[in-house]
């Protein structure tokens, strides 16, 4: 039984032959945060049938996107991780997320806000056209959790680092705080980023608070669209 394919000479359709099936890209999204056990993936993908997850994982392993490794551990038998090829899906996940951001409504009770995806959500919100060449580190201390955002400095003229590769996020709180910091909630950040609340309003109302040097705060405000009101992608 030959796997079904769009069968066109086109990069996008070839890609969708590999990652276009249901759930596949969400598995990638979760694996982008690091290796996971089967159960971790299942818990991070509520609503997905167990057999389907197993099936997808074997497909993705066959496609060379995912690597399965048996480990010696009392409470874990195997770890799934992305291969180098699988890591190349990060720009896809980010692009998809950027598109979806304006459609994202506030979480309801039946919409789990999974801890694992907070960093991805933050990375998605950053306005890449506002990245400063010099780079910056920002701690986001939100009600829903902590995220360290690192914008890698541009390496000078010549070959430029793609914008997406310059945005890095981590849920681990380093020993030392970043010089720039923002506190509040994901919802407030999202409202501002989506232009439904101005940055000034968010700060005045206390929904968000920032600290750090003047210049860094200015960069932060640009990165999350504090100055805009109109909705933008």
Determine, following the binding rule CB under 8 A, whether residue 47 of this chain makes contact with a copy of itself: yes
Question: Would you say 6 or 168 has its CB closer to DNA?
Answer: 6
Considering only residues 169-198, where is the footprint of a copy of itself by CB under 8 A? none
Percent helix, percent strand, percent coil in the chain, to nearest 5: 40, 20, 40
Please select the residue that binds DNA; options are 9, 22, 129, 158, rule is CB under 7 A: 22
Residue from 53, 104, 152, 207 touching a copy of itself (CB under 8 A): that is 104
Nearer to a copy of itself, 6 or 58 (CB): 6
* CA–CA gap between residue 86 and residue 99 (Å, rounded): 21
Question: Which contacts (CB < 8 Å, 24+ apart) does range 110-118 have?
Answer: 112/46, 113/144, 113/186, 114/44, 114/46, 115/144, 115/145, 115/171, 116/30, 116/33, 116/44, 116/171, 117/29, 117/30, 117/33, 117/44, 118/142, 118/144, 118/145, 118/147, 118/171, 118/186
Give the whole-angstrom CA distance, residue 151 versus residue 220.
11
Q: Which is nearer to a copy of itself, 19 or 76 (CB)?
A: 19
Q: Which is nearer to DNA, 38 or 146 (CB)?
A: 38
Query: How many CA within 13 A on the CB side of residue 11?
Result: 0
Q: Are 224 and 189 in contact (CB under 8 A)?
A: yes
Instruction: Out of 47, 156, 157, 162, name the contact with DNA by CB under 7 A.
Output: 47
**Judged by CB under 8 A, does residue 26 bind a copy of itself?**
yes
Q: Which two tokens stand for residue 168?
A: 């890095």
Our finding on whether 21 is near DNA (CB under 7 A) is yes
100 binds a copy of itself (CB under 8 A): yes
Partner that binds at residue 215, options a copy of itself, DNA, none, CB closer than 5 to 8 Å by kind: none
**Window of 53-61, 156-164, 177-185, 209-217 that interacts with a copy of itself by CB under 8 A:** 156-164
Which of 16, 76, 104, 152 binds DNA (CB under 7 A)? It is 76
Judged by beta carbon distances under 5 to 8 A according to partner kind, the member of a copy of itself, DNA, none in contact with residue 40 is DNA
| Spatial separation of the C-alpha atoms in residues 207 and 195, rounded to whole Å | 15
Q: Which helix (H) or strand (E) element contains residue 145?
A: strand 145-151
Give the residues lining the site for a copy of itself (CB under 8 A): 6-20, 22, 25-26, 29, 46-47, 85, 88-89, 91-104, 106-107, 110-114, 117, 120-121, 124, 128-131, 133, 157, 159-163, 233
């Amino acid at each position: 039984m030959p796997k079904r394919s769009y069968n066109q000479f086109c990069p996008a359709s070839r890609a969708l032959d590999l990652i276009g099936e249901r759930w596949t890209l969400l598995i990638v999204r979760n694996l982008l945060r690091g290796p996971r056990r089967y159960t971790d993936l299942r818990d991070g993908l509520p609503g997905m049938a167990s057999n389907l997850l197993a099936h997808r994982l074997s497909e993705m392993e066959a496609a060379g996107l995912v690597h399965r490794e048996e480990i010696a551990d009392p409470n874990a038998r195997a770890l799934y991780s992305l291969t180098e090829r699988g890591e190349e899906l990060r720009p896809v996940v980010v692009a998809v997320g950027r598109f979806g951001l304006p459609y994202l409504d506030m979480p309801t009770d039946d919409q789990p806000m999974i801890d694992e995806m907070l960093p991805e959500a933050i990375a998605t919100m950053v306005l890449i056209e506002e990245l400063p060449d010099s780079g910056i580190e920002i701690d986001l201390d939100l009600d829903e959790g902590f995220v360290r955002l690192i914008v890698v400095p541009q390496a000078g003229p010549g070959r430029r680092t793609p914008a997406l590769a310059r945005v890095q996020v981590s849920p681990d709180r380093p020993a030392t705080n970043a010089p720039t910091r923002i506190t509040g909630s994901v919802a407030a950040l999202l409202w501002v980023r989506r232009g439904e609340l101005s940055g000034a309003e968010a700060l005045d109302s206390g929904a968000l608070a920032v600290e750090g040097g003047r210049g860094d705060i200015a960069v932060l405000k640009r990165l999350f669209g504090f100055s805009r009101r109109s909705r933008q992608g």
